[in-house]
Structure 1
Amino acid sequence: MNPLVLIPARMAATRLPNKPLADIGGKPMIVRAWEAAAASGLPVAVAAGDPEIVQAVEAAGGRAVLTDPDLPSGSDRIRAALDAIDPNGAHDVVINLQGDMPFAGPSISRLCAELMAREPSCDIATLVAPEAGPEDRANPDVVKAVLALDGTGRSGRALYFTRSTLYGDGPVWRHVGVYGYRRAALEAFCAAPPSPLERREKLEQLRALEMGLSLWAAVIDEAPLSVDNPADLEAARKLA
């Protein structure tokens, strides 16, 4: 395998406009995300929707490629960046690391790549973490993953993702929006229209399941902070 980490980012975030350039401890958020990914030892580039993001990443010594700002999703953005960076297909695995996770440790990217190397049937790898508390179960903003865990209890095939409340005994896995795609799976996914379940739950990964792609998830101990609103940004600044 020859993985490449791509970090999609655009300025027009609804809840926190211009958030890729939000200052966290003297650095733009997207630069912190790029630094965390680069610490994995894997090649990394930012798939930027705006020239300001490219300038910030390049000023920090990173690599960024400008993509169409009107692309509908992060998956489409990394597909466009992949075609620009690697038109000959040298990279057969792409890790989609979110630009609003400024403190995602280097193991985050490696875990997706390791899971795909270990599970040949895995088309798309992702991550889950234990629920932060019982309030997560009924929170529609917390996406839950339903897994068929393997014997280790640290990874498993994803059966479904939902915003709904999950009942009964057993762990509730909180989905962490990091993905590893085999290149062919990414191309097929981006070529397909939004699926009925995807539109119903507003969860892009359900398109992949409806397409028959195999999704696997690795368990991590704690979800990294995702900066989605001003309160999250203040929490991130306290961690910097």
Structure 2
Amino acid sequence: MKIVCMIPARLQSTRLPRKLLLSTTGRPLLQYVWETARRCPEFSDVVVATDSEEIAKVVRDFGGRAEITGHHHSGTDRIAEVVRRCFPDADAVVNLQGDEPELDPAVVSALVRELEHAGTEMATVACPILSPAILRDPSCVKLVTNALGHAMYFSRSQIPFTRDTAPEHFFRDGEPSPFLLHVGLYGYRRDFLLRLTSLPPSPLEQMEKLEQLRALQAGARIAVAVVNHAAVGIDTPADYEAFVQRQQTQTIRRAA
């Protein structure tokens, strides 16, 4: 199977302006994700899809491939443009987020394994929720799966809702969490990706502001790889500062 990795990248971000180009550590944030993708043997190519000439130049400067796109409302639409134009022979596409610099290649491999199953149109990743605060946070997307490991629904609200028990009950020491956090990595069969991005936004997608609900409402089967933990995304200045501190600590340990 020929699998292409696409990293959609836009310059503007609301909570942390120009975050993909922040380089306090000596490397742009985007480069960390590109380097992770390059370490994944499953990928035949790694491409940054962007509408920013500035981002494209930075990518080319660190040795990556960048493709300029038009304006799009979502990263999925952006990568579909590049796949349609540049990869007619690809079997599948994996979409990595440019703001997850500590992504583990093993998580990517788990996603790819789900994508390789016969009949799988789309795949994504989840991990257990470990605190009530994450469960309550609408910026943290939750999901539920069926007995076959396929997504039944994604929501910003708590799912499943625990009618007779407070959510805190499920986070006692030693108890496995019954709640799953969605990790924003996606894999698509090429034809399905192009078909999905030709559809208009669905009602549930518009209400929850979650584009994966377009696929569910269209009747797609989304396979879910459940991993033990996920990388921390960079969304705010505090997130980035914590990432810089972790990188500095690792550098000191390696030098010791």
Mapped pair 1:140 → 2:142:
no
Cα distance in 2 for partners of 1:23, 1:196 equals: 39
Mapped pair 1:172 → 2:179:
yes
- Alignment map for 1:77-88 (pairs within 5 Å): 77-86=78-87
Cα distance in 2 for partners of 1:105, 1:136 equals: 21
| Unpaired segments ≥5 residues, structure 1 | 151-155
Instruction: State the match for 2:118 in structure 1.
Output: 120
Q: TM-score with structure 1 length normalisation?
A: 0.92
Deviation at 1:212, TM superposition (A): 0.5
Cα distance in 2 for partners of 1:188, 1:106 equals: 28
Cα distance in 2 for partners of 1:26, 1:46 equals: 20
Instruction: State the match for 2:174 in structure 1.
Output: none
Instruction: State the match for 1:74 in structure 2.
Output: 75
Identity %: 39
Amino acid at match of 1:84: R
Deviation at 1:239, TM superposition (A): 2.1
Mapped pair 1:107 → 2:106:
yes
Instruction: State the match for 2:219 in structure 1.
Output: 212
Mapped pair 1:91 → 2:98:
no
Counterpart contact for 2:143–2:180, Cα < 8 Å:
yes
- SS at the partner of 2:130? coil
Mapped pair 1:160 → 2:150:
no
Give 1:186's match in structure 2, choosing from 193, 202, 216: 193
User: What's the CA shift string for 1:181-208, capped at 9, x where partnerless?
Assistant: 0011111111001000001111100000
| Unpaired segments ≥5 residues, structure 2 | 163-169, 171-176, 248-256
Deviation at 1:121, TM superposition (A): 2.5
Deviation at 1:83, TM superposition (A): 2.4
Deviation at 1:224, TM superposition (A): 0.5
Instruction: State the match for 2:202 in structure 1.
Output: 195
The higher radius of gyration belongs to 2
The aligned length equals 231
Give 2:243's match in structure 1, choosing from 217, 233, 236: 236
Mapped pair 1:60 → 2:58:
no
Amino acid at match of 1:144: K
Counterpart contact for 2:84–2:194, Cα < 8 Å:
no
- Bigger Cα displacement from structure 2, 156-165 vs 141-150: 141-150
Counterpart contact for 2:124–2:225, Cα < 8 Å:
yes
- SS at the partner of 1:80? helix
User: What's the CA shift string for 1:49-102, capped at 9, x where partnerless?
Assistant: 20111111111111111111x21100011011212322xx21110000000111
Counterpart contact for 1:158–1:216, Cα < 8 Å:
yes
- Bigger Cα displacement from structure 2, 156-165 vs 168-177: 168-177
- SS at the partner of 2:146? strand
Deviation at 1:24, TM superposition (A): 4.6
- 1:24/1:97 Cα in 2 relative to 1: closer, same or farther (>3 Å)? farther
Cα distance in 1 for partners of 2:24, 2:84 equals: 31
Cα distance in 1 for partners of 2:53, 2:79 equals: 16
Amino acid at match of 1:192: L
Counterpart contact for 1:185–1:213, Cα < 8 Å:
no
Instruction: State the match for 1:50 in structure 2.
Output: 52
Counterpart contact for 2:143–2:151, Cα < 8 Å:
yes
Counterpart contact for 2:6–2:96, Cα < 8 Å:
yes
Amino acid at match of 1:125: A
